[in-house]
C-alpha cells in the first residue's frame, strides 16, 4: 500500500479515449483509408506525400472540434486524482488528443506531441493550430508558407520529454498504465524500467492484457471509464 504523499506516475494510451469516440490505433484492423498508420505517420511519408499526411491529421484534428467527442469518466477521474492526491501525480500520455486537458488535467506530458499544435520546419516554432494544415498554411512566428507540419512525433522520431519521464519513472511508488497495448517503445518499456528500480507497485488497467501485462504486479481488465474512476476512488479513500 502506498502512502498519500507517494509519487504516482500514470501512462495513458489510445484506449483511454476510445469511449470518447476516438479510434484506437490497433483496434479494428488499424487501417486508415487503406493505409497502415505506420505508413502515414512517418517523416518519409510526409516528404513523399505531404497532402496525404496532412489530410490524415486534419481529419483527426477536426474530430477534436466535434462536440460529440468529449472527455469520459476516466479522463475526469485522473484530473480529480491530480487535484486531490497529496503527493505528486505525473500523467504521461502517448495520445495526441486534448481530452485530458479538457477534463481539467493541468500537467499533461505529451510524449508523442499534440494534434492541436503545429510545428514550423523553417523556424522550429510550435503554435496552437485548431484548423486544417496544408501547403498554404503560414507560420505565425516567421510567416513562412507551406512549412507547417503537425507537432506530433512520427515513427522514427524521438518522443518528447524523455529526460523528465526517466526521472519520474525512477522516483514513482505507483506506476499505472491505462489503455495502451504495450507494443510501441519506449512507452512499452516504462513498466520494466520502473520494476528495475524496485520501488513501485505496478498496475495495468486495460480492456485486454497488453503485450507487457506479465511485467505488471497487478492487472485489471475492463473499460477505462468504469475501472479508472473505481481505482481513483479506492486510492482517495486512503487520503481521508
Ligand atoms: N478501456 C480500456 N482499454 C481499452 C479500451 C477501453 N475502453 N478500448 C481499447 N482499449 C485498449 C486496447 O485493448 C489496446 O490494448 O487500449 C489499447 C490501445 O492500444 P493501441 O491502439 O495500440 O494504442 P496505444 O497503445 O496508445 O498506441 C501507442 O502507437 O501508433 C502509435 O503513436 C501511436 O501513441 C500511439 C502508440
User: What is the residue with the minimal CA distance to atom 25 of ligand 1?
Assistant: 180
Separation of alpha carbons 97 and 216, rounded Å:
26
Over residues 127-137, mean pLDDT: 96
- 54 C-alpha to ligand 1 centroid (Å): 22
The residue among 118 and 28 whose pLDDT is bigger is 118
Q: Which pLDDT score, from 0 to 100, does residue 180 have?
A: 97
- 5 C-alpha to ligand 1 centroid (Å): 30
Q: Which pLDDT score, from 0 to 100, does residue 30 have?
A: 62
Q: Which pLDDT score, from 0 to 100, does residue 26 have?
A: 72
Mean pLDDT (the chain, rounded): 94
Over residues 55-59, mean pLDDT: 93
User: What is the residue with the minimal CA distance to atom 26 of ligand 1?
Assistant: 13
The tens digit of pLDDT for each residue in 1-41 reads: 789 889 999 999 999 999 999 988 776 666 666 778 778 89
- 91 C-alpha to ligand 1 centroid (Å): 16
Q: Which pLDDT score, from 0 to 100, does residue 221 have?
A: 98
Q: Which pLDDT score, from 0 to 100, does residue 31 have?
A: 64
Over residues 60-78, mean pLDDT: 96
Q: 77, 59, 73: which is closest to 23 by C-alpha?
A: 59
Q: Is 235 within 8 Å of 85 (Cβ atoms)?
A: yes
Residue spans of alpha helices (H) in the chain: 15-18, 37-40, 43-48, 50-64, 73-84, 99-102, 162-171, 190-197, 224-236
Q: Is 212 within 8 Å of 36 (Cβ atoms)?
A: no
Exposure letters 40-73 (e unless 16+ CB within 10 A, then b): bbbeebbeeeeeebbbbbbebbeebeeeebebbb
Q: Which pLDDT score, from 0 to 100, does residue 239 have?
A: 85
pLDDT over 80 at 58, yes or no: yes
Residue of 15, 153, 189 with the most ligand 1 atoms within 8 Å of its CB, for mutation: 15
Q: Ligand 1: residues within 6 Å at CB? A: 13-15, 18-19, 24-27, 37, 94, 112, 179-181, 183-184, 206-208, 210, 223-224
Cell reading at 226: 468504469
Residue 17 has φ and ψ, to the nearest 5°, of -100, -5
Catalytic residues: 112
- 218 C-alpha to ligand 1 centroid (Å): 18
Amino acid at each position: 500500500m502506498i502512502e498519500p504523499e507517494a509519487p504516482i506516475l500514470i501512462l495513458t494510451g489510445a484506449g483511454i479515449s476510445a469511449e470518447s469516440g476516438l479510434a484506437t490505433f490497433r483496434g479494428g484492423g488499424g487501417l486508415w483509408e487503406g493505409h497502415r498508420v505506420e505508413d502515414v505517420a512517418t517523416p518519409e511519408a510526409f516528404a513523399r506525400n505531404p497532402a496525404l499526411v496532412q489530410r490524415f491529421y486534419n481529419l483527426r484534428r477536426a474530430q477534436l472540434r466535434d462536440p460529440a467527442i468529449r472527455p469520459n469518466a476516466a479522463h475526469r477521474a485522473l484530473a480529480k486524482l491530480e487535484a486531490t492526491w497529496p503527493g505528486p501525480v505525473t500523467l504521461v500520455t502517448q495520445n495526441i488528443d486534448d481530452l485530458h486537458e479538457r477534463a481539467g488535467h493541468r500537467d499533461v506530458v505529451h510524449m508523442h506531441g499534440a494534434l492541436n499544435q503545429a510545428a514550423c520546419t523553417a523556424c522550429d516554432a510550435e503554435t496552437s493550430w485548431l484548423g486544417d494544415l496544408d501547403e498554404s498554411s503560414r507560420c505565425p512566428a516567421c510567416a513562412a508558407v507551406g512549412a507547417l507540419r503537425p507537432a506530433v512525433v512520427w515513427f522514427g522520431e524521438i518522443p518528447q520529454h524523455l529526460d523528465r519521464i526517466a526521472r519520474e519513472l525512477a522516483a514513482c511508488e505507483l506506476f499505472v498504465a491505462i489503455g495502451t497495448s504495450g507494443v510501441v517503445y519506449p512507452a512499452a518499456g516504462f513498466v520494466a524500467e520502473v520494476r528495475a528500480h524496485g520501488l513501485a507497485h505496478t498496475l495495468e488497467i486495460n480492456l485486454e492484457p497488453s503485450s507487457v501485462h506479465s511485467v505488471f504486479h497487478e492487472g485489471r481488465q475492463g473499460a477505462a471509464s468504469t475501472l479508472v474512476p473505481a481505482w481513483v476512488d479506492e486510492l482517495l479513500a486512503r487520503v481521508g
